[in-house]
Structure 1
C-alpha cells in the first residue's frame, strides 16, 4: 500500500496548497493619508490629508462636488502628502450627473502627478504635467473619433507633452476605453492598480454592482518617484455635477513581473472581468493529483501480481 499512501499524500498536499492560496491573508495596508470618506472635514472645516479648492463644495453627508452644474467652474481635491509607496491600489467612488439632455460636460480627471493644487485647462488642472492623468471625458470636441463618449483615457505626462483639448487628447493617449458612466443608477467606481516596473491597470464598475470591467492595462509605466493624488473637474459652456464620494488607497505586496506581450486597449469597450480562472486552476490541480494517484495505484497492482512484493 506504499504507492497508494504516497498518492493520497500528494493529493492532500495539492488540495491543502490550493486552500492556503485561496485563503491567504492580504498583506495590503490602507493608507489613511490618501483615503477619504464622509464627513470629509474636521471641526476646523479642514481635512488633515487633503486640500479642496476652486469651486469645490463639500456636502458632509454625500460627496465632494468638484463642480456644480454651472458653466465655467473648476474644482480640485489633492492629497497634501506624496504617495510614497512602490505598489498600490486606489479605488474611488464617483458620480457624474446633471439634467437630462444631449449636451453635458466636460468631465473630471484622476491624477498622480508631481505638481498639485494648480488649476488649468486639462479637466481643471495644468497642462504639461509630469505623471499620470486619467480623464473621464463626457464631451466630444473633435467629432471625428472612432469611439463614442463618455470615454476614459490615460495619458503619461513627462513635463513637456501637452494635452490637446480640441482633439480630446487623441495624440497623447496611452490607452482608453468607452464607458457609459454618466447618470447611472448603479454605484460607479474606478480601481487603479499600479506595480512599479510591472504594469498599470484600470478597472471600472458602472454596469452592475460588484461587476468590474478592465478598461486598460499598460506595461512599463514609469511614474515619478513622488506623486500627489488628485481629482479635478471643469465645465465650459455646458456643465455637469462631478462628485467624488470616497477614496481608498492601499499598499500592495510585490508580485512577479508579467510578460510584456499585452497591447494597450485603445478606443474599445472595456472587457468584463471573470472570476472563473481561480476555479479552473483549482479543478486542474484536483484532476492532475487524482490522475497521479490512479497511475500509482495501477502500478502497485501490477507490481503486486508479479509476486515481487512481500505481503505483511
Structure 2
C-alpha cells in the first residue's frame, strides 16, 4: 500500500493545524474518566496512575464509571484518590472534577481537592480538619455554617498547623455558597490557574477569583472525602487536568526525560533514518512491511526543525497505514476461513437432508396404509360375520346346558359320601347319647339326699 507524498503532506499539515486550533491538552496520567466511553478502571480494582485508599480496613469502591469514596452506610469513613505523578506544567492549567453528594436530610461530610507539595498517596486519608501541615492549596466542599453547602479555598506554606488552629475556617482566602447535596445531576467544579490569577468555577459560574496566588509546578493532585456519623455519600465520576502548553498529551516524567538532549539526538537520527528508508523504498519499490512496527515516544518540544517534525509525522502515518493494511489482510483471511468452514458444514448437512426426506416418505407410506384400512372398515358389511358369531355362541350355550348336569352328577356320584357311611354315623351318635344319659343317672342316684 503506497500513499503519495502530496497526500501525506496534506494530512500532516492538516493534523498540525488541527492540533494548533485546540489549545487545551489533557494530561492523561493525571486524569481519569476523560475518555469517550467514560471508563475509569479497566479491571474494577485500580485506576491507572492513581492510588485509591481508605481508612483502616475500609476501601473505596471502584466501579466502571465512578469511584465511591464514602458509602451511604456506615458513617465515619474516609477515602482518597491521589495521583502518582506530579504536575510539571507551569503557568496555565485547569483541573476539573465531576462529583455527586447524596445523603439524608441531616447527613454530613466533606470533600477536598488537594494540590500540595507532598503526596498523601500512602497515608491515611485526611481532611482539612485532620491534617497537620501541608504546603499548597486545598478546596473544601462542605456544609459550613449550615448554609446548605459552601466551597472554600485554603493556602498554606507548610508552617501553619491547621489541625491545632482554634478556628481553621477563618484561614480561607475565598469562598462561595453552593448547595451541592442531593442534586441528582453531577456537580462540575473547576480550578483554573494561569499566570496572574487563580479562579474556582462551579457549575459554569465563578465561585471566587484572586490575582494574588501563584502555584508552582511539581505538586501532586488529590481528592479526599470523609463522612460523619450520619453519612453523605461522595461519588467521583471524572477528574481531568489539562494545559495549554502543547508539549505533549502525556505528562512528562522527570526521570524518563532527564536527558532531553540525548533523546533529541536519537529523534533526529531516527528521523534521518526514516527519510533514508522512505527514499530507498521509492527507488527500490520495496514492500510496506519494511517500515518499523513501532516508533519511540518523544517530546514534541524536542523536535526543533519543521522538516524533522514532518518526517516524524510521515513515518507515524506510514506505520498506521501498515497496521491498517495488516488488519485488512487479517480480516480477509478470517473471511476466507469462514467461507471454507461454511461450505464444509453445508456438505455435512446434505446427508442429513436425505435421511430426513426418507423419513418423510416412510411417514407418508404409513399414513396411506392407515387410510386404506379405514376405508376398508367403512365400506365392508359385517352382518354375516356377526350372525356367524351369534350362531357360534348359541351352539356353545346348548352344549354347555346338555353336558353340565351330567358332569355334575358324575362328580357327585364319584366323590360324594355313601349311604352306609351316613347310617354308621347316625348309630354312633345315638350310642354316645345313651351312654351319656346312663352316666348322668348313676351320678344323680349316688348323690347325697337333702331334706327340708
The answer to whether the superposition gives a TM-score over 0.5 is yes
**Separation of aligned partners in 2, 1:149 and 1:166:** 24
**Separation of aligned partners in 2, 1:27 and 1:203:** 19
| RMSD of equivalent CA atoms | 2.5
Does residue 29 in structure 1 map to residue 25 in structure 2?
Answer: yes
Does structure 2 retain, via aligned residues, the 8 Å contact 1:78–1:229?
yes
**Separation of aligned partners in 1, 2:167 and 2:82:** 23
- Residue in structure 2 matched with residue 73 of structure 1 by the alignment: 77
Higher share in helix: 2
Deviations 1:227-286 (A, max 9, x none): 1111001123231101110111111259xxxxxxxxxxxxxxxxxxxxxxxxxxxxxxxx
Q: 1:163, CA displacement in angstroms? A: 3.1
Q: TM-score, normalised by structure 2?
A: 0.44
Higher share in strand: 1
| 4+ runs deviating over 6 angstroms | 165-168
Does residue 218 in structure 1 map to residue 215 in structure 2?
Answer: no
Name stretches of at least 5 consecutive residues in structure 1 with no aligned partner.
1-23, 206-211, 255-312
Does structure 2 retain, via aligned residues, the 8 Å contact 1:113–1:228?
yes
1:126-275 to 2 correspondence within 5 Å?
Answer: 126-138=131-143, 140=145, 148-163=147-162, 169-196=168-195, 198-205=196-203, 212-253=204-245
Does structure 2 retain, via aligned residues, the 8 Å contact 1:111–1:132?
yes
- Residue in structure 2 matched with residue 90 of structure 1 by the alignment: 95
1:48-127 to 2 correspondence within 5 Å?
Answer: 48-54=48-54, 55-69=58-72, 70-86=74-90, 87-99=92-104, 101=105, 103-116=106-119, 117=121, 118-119=123-124, 121-123=126-128, 126-127=131-132
Q: TM-score, normalised by structure 1?
A: 0.63
**Separation of aligned partners in 1, 2:189 and 2:59:** 20
Name stretches of at least 5 consecutive residues in structure 2 with no aligned partner.
1-19, 247-452
> Which SS does the other structure have where 2:25 is aligned?
coil
**Separation of aligned partners in 2, 1:181 and 1:96:** 7
Does structure 1 retain, via aligned residues, the 8 Å contact 2:95–2:240?
yes
Note closer, same or farther for the CA distance 1:105–1:163 as it changes in structure 2 (3 Å cut).
Answer: farther
Does structure 2 retain, via aligned residues, the 8 Å contact 1:57–1:65?
yes
Note closer, same or farther for the CA distance 1:164–1:172 as it changes in structure 2 (3 Å cut).
Answer: farther
1:3-14 to 2 correspondence within 5 Å?
Answer: none
Note closer, same or farther for the CA distance 1:167–1:63 as it changes in structure 2 (3 Å cut).
Answer: farther
Q: 1:133, CA displacement in angstroms? A: 0.1
Does structure 1 retain, via aligned residues, the 8 Å contact 2:61–2:68?
yes
**Separation of aligned partners in 1, 2:149 and 2:188:** 15
Does structure 2 retain, via aligned residues, the 8 Å contact 1:129–1:157?
yes
Number of paired residues? Answer: 216
Does structure 2 retain, via aligned residues, the 8 Å contact 1:123–1:233?
no
**Separation of aligned partners in 2, 1:170 and 1:124:** 9
Deviations 1:52-108 (A, max 9, x none): 001442342341111112221110000000011112111121001113x2x221211
More displaced 10-residue stretch of structure 1: 233-242 or 118-127: 118-127
**Separation of aligned partners in 1, 2:131 and 2:124:** 6
- Residue in structure 1 matched with residue 257 of structure 2 by the alignment: none
Does structure 1 retain, via aligned residues, the 8 Å contact 2:227–2:233?
no
Note closer, same or farther for the CA distance 1:44–1:241 as it changes in structure 2 (3 Å cut).
Answer: closer
Task: Determine which structure has greater relative contact order: mean sequence separation of CA pairs < 8 Å that are 6+ residues apart, divided by chain length.
Answer: 1
> Which SS does the other structure have where 1:33 is aligned?
helix
Instruction: Indicate the structure (1 or 2) with the bigger Cα radius of gyration.
Output: 2
Note closer, same or farther for the CA distance 1:115–1:160 as it changes in structure 2 (3 Å cut).
Answer: same
